[in-house]
Structure 1
C-alpha cells in the first residue's frame, strides 16, 4: 500500500525512465527503494543545477549528450532539454572536440583544457571556459564526464595582472635610478640595469654575479655600513642617505640611497626594497661651491676690512670737507652781504655822480655854444671835455647795471628775491620786448627783427617784469653777436608750458665755452678782439628767474651758424 502523498506507481515509473532507468527495472516490489533513490537523485540534480559550472555526460560510443546539469544550458544559450541527444561536436569548438576524441580513443583517461565559447545571443566577445574531461564506466558503456567552468573574469584578472607586471617591469627596467631588492641580511636578490650601470657593471646579471651582499660589497666606509644597519633595525627604512660607494673598477662615487623593509602577510620581515641615485656630479659641485664660498667669505672679510679702513678715511675727509664747506658757505654769505652792502653804498654816490654828470653835460654844451669863439683850439678842447663827460655817463650807467645785477644775483642765490604772482600774457610780453629792441639796432647792422607767435597763447603765472627781464636779456645778447641776418623770437604752447625761443644768425658759441654759458661772470665772446660790453651775469640771472617760475632754460648753438636760446613757463 502506498502512503498518502506518495506519488502513484505510474508516476514513479515515468520519473525512473526520465532519470535513465529501464522498464525492466521498475517493479511494484521495488517502488519503495526506487522512490528513495529517485528522491536522492532529484536532490543531487537540484544541487548540481545550483552550481555555476556546466556538467555534461557524453556517450563515448555515439558522442551524443546524454545529460546536462548546472550552468550547461546558460553557457550554450539553450535549455537542458535541447541539449540532451545532441552531438557534442556540434556545440563545442573543434579543439575541445579533438580533446574529447582522444579521451574516447583511450589516449588518456582524464584531461584539462581551456577554450572559448561564443557568448549566448551573439553579444560579442567570447566566454573563456576551463574544461575537465574524465572517462567513466556506466551501465550502458563508457561515459565522458565533462565539467565546464566560466573563467572569463579570472582570465581578465590574469590579463590585467600580466599587463601590470609588464608595465611595472618596464618601469623598473627603464628607470634612470637604480632599483634593487635584498634579503634581510643584505644579500642581493634582484637589480635593474640602471643599478648595474651606476656601479660600473655591464648588466644586472653581471652585477648579481659579482655582488653577493650589497652592504659589504658596495658601501665604501665601515661607519656608513654601521649606520645603514642601525637605521634599518630602528626605523625599518633609510631615507635620502648620501654615502660613498665602490664601483666595479674600484673607484668611488657618491650615491643617494633609500630603502625600506617589506613584511609578509603575517608581519615577518621578508626583504628590503631600495633605490640608488648617482649624485657624484652634484656632490662635486657642492664641494666646489663650498670651496668658492669659503674663498668668497675670506675675500669678503678682507674687502670688509679694506672698506672699513676706507670708510674711516672717507669719514675723516667728509668731516674736513664739511668744515670747509661750512667755512665756504659762511664766506659766501659774508661775500654776498659784503657785495650787497658795497653795492648799496656805491649806488648812492654813483646816482649823484651820474645825475650831476648829465646836468653838467647839458649845461656845458649850452655854455660852450655861447662862450666859445671860432678859435679851433678852444673848440677842440671843449669837444674833448664833452666826450669825456659822455664817457663818464656811459661807464657810470654800465657800473649801475653791474651793481643792479650783483644785487639781483645775491638776492636770487639767498632766496630773498620776491616774485609777483599774477597772470601774464606771453604774447604781449613778446611784442613789447621786440618793439623796444627795434630801437636798439645799430644803424651799421644789417639785422632784421622777426616775431612769430603761433596761435593764441594761454596766460602764464609769474612776475611780468622779471619775465620781460629774461626776454630782454636774450634778445639783447642775440643783437650783440649778430652783425647781419636776423634775430627771431618764436612763442608757442606745448602741453602744459609756453615755449619762447630767441634764434639768431650770429657768431654762435664755441664748443669749448658752451659748458659755462650760465656760469657767473662768464661773458660770451670774451675772447673776441672787439668783445661786447656786459657784466657776465645776465644769463645766470635769467636761469635763476626761469627756474624760480617752474620752467627751464637751455640753448643750442653752432659756431658761425648762430644760437637758439629757449625757456619755458608753466601755463596758469
Structure 2
C-alpha cells in the first residue's frame, strides 16, 4: 500500500472517531463516561433524598434557593417548585429573621469552604415553626458563591434537654442528699444538699470518692452496692460520717440505672439526715417509759393513802361521838378523789392502749381500788 493511501486511511479513522463511528470512537468513549457520571450523580441525589437531614443550596447573595433534597420538602410541606421560588430567608421564623440575615451576610463575606452551625426555626407551609440546627458551608462554583445548608429537626432534642434541665434543677434544689456513683461505688455526682449534709465545701469535692467514705461502717456501702446490683431495693437506717469524722444518723434509699441491655450504668442514692428524728424517737420512748413509771408510782401512792385512811375510818366508826360522822364523810371524799384519779389515768383504756403501743415495753399495773365501805363492813 502506498504512503498516500496509508495517510488517507489514518485520516479517515480519525474522522470516524471524531464523529462517533468505529470501535474506537472518541464520541463513544465520552458518551460512556458521561453516562457513568450521570448515573453517579443520580445515586448521589437518591442518597441525599433518603437522608434524615434537609439539604438546601442557595446563593450567598440574595439567598435564592437553587436546589433542595426530598427531605426538605417533607419537613416543610412545600413542593420542590415552591421551594425553588423562594429565598432561604423566607423560611426562617419572623422573630429570628433579622438576626439570621445578618449572619448570612457575614457568611457571604467569609472564606470559602468554611463551616458553621446555627440554631434557627424554619416555618413550614402550614405555619408551624420547626426548631432546627443548621450546618452552613460556603462553596464557590465558578464566579458564584453559594451556601449549602444542612438542617436537622431538633424538636426531640430540645424536649429531652428541657426534661434533663428540669430533672437537674429538681436534683439541685432537693433538700435530700442525692448521690450518683458508678457500679464500682465511685462518686460521679452529688447535689449541694448532700455536700452540705456531709460537711463538704461543694459537690465537686466529692467526685471520685468511694461510697465507703460516707459511712461509719464501710461494710454498709458494700452492702448497698451489692443489693442494688442484685436488684434488691434498699431502705437502710445507719450512721453517716461527715468530713470532720463526726457521725450522724441517716436513712439511705437507692436504685440502679441500667441500659437497654440490662447492664448497670450507675446507682443513685437518696440520703436523709434523720438525727433529729432519732433523737425525738428516743426522747418519746424515754418519756413514755417515765410516764408509765409515774402512773405505777401514782397507783402505789394511792394504795399507800388508802391503807392509813382505812385505819382512820375504822377508828372513827368505833368512836361514839358526833364528830366521827364528820371524819367518815371526809374519808369517803378522799377515797372518791383517789378512785377518780385511778379511773382517769390508770384505768383509762385510751391511756393504756397508747402507752402499750408507743411505750415499748412499759408495764402498767392493774389497779383495783379498795372500797372503804366494803372494808368497813367487813371490819364491823
Q: Same fold (TM over 0.5)?
A: yes
Cα distance change, pair 292–66 in 1 and its aligned pair in 2 (3 A): closer
Residue 168 of structure 2: aligned partner: 169
Residue 262 of structure 1: aligned partner: 257
CA shift digits 1:163-218 (9 cap, x unpaired): 22221111111111111112223222211111112112232234x17x82222x22
Residue 123 of structure 1: aligned partner: 127
Indicate the larger mover: 284-293 or 91-100. Answer: 91-100
Distance 2:49 2:230 in 1: 58
**Equivalent residue runs for 1:92-131 within 5 Å:** 94=101, 97-98=104-105, 101=108, 107-109=111-113, 111-114=115-118, 116=120, 119=123, 123=127, 125=129, 128=132, 130-131=134-135
Distance 1:303 1:279 in 2: 35
Distance 2:231 2:176 in 1: 23
8 Å CA contact 2:183, 2:225 repeated in 1: no
Residue 24 of structure 2: aligned partner: none
Distance 1:244 1:127 in 2: 50
**Equivalent residue runs for 1:493-512 within 5 Å:** none
8 Å CA contact 2:59, 2:147 repeated in 1: no
Q: 1:244 aligns with which of 225, 239, 244?
A: 239
Question: 1:277 is paired with a residue of what secondary structure?
Answer: strand
Cα distance change, pair 298–226 in 1 and its aligned pair in 2 (3 A): farther
Q: CA deviation at 1:148?
A: 3.5
Residue 146 of structure 1: aligned partner: 148
Residue 216 of structure 2: aligned partner: 220
Residue 273 of structure 1: aligned partner: 268
Cα distance change, pair 100–54 in 1 and its aligned pair in 2 (3 A): farther
Unaligned runs of 5+ in 2: 1-17, 22-26, 93-99, 311-368
Residue 319 of structure 1: aligned partner: 374
Distance 1:43 1:118 in 2: 28
Q: CA deviation at 1:132?
A: 4.8
Question: 2:168 is paired with a residue of what secondary structure?
Answer: helix
Question: 1:257 is paired with a residue of what secondary structure?
Answer: strand
Unaligned runs of 5+ in 1: 1-24, 328-572
Distance 1:175 1:262 in 2: 20
Distance 1:124 1:63 in 2: 22
Q: CA deviation at 1:127?
A: 6.0
Residue 159 of structure 2: aligned partner: 160
Q: CA deviation at 1:125?
A: 3.8
Cα distance change, pair 52–224 in 1 and its aligned pair in 2 (3 A): closer
8 Å CA contact 1:232, 1:260 repeated in 2: yes
Matched, 1:297 2:279: no
8 Å CA contact 1:55, 1:145 repeated in 2: no
Question: 1:293 is paired with a residue of what secondary structure?
Answer: helix
Distance 1:226 1:59 in 2: 64
Residue 515 of structure 1: aligned partner: none
Distance 1:196 1:317 in 2: 68
CA shift digits 1:4-47 (9 cap, x unpaired): xxxxxxxxxxxxxxxxxxxxx99897699699669947787677
Residue 70 of structure 2: aligned partner: 70
Residue 195 of structure 2: aligned partner: 196
**Equivalent residue runs for 1:437-448 within 5 Å:** none
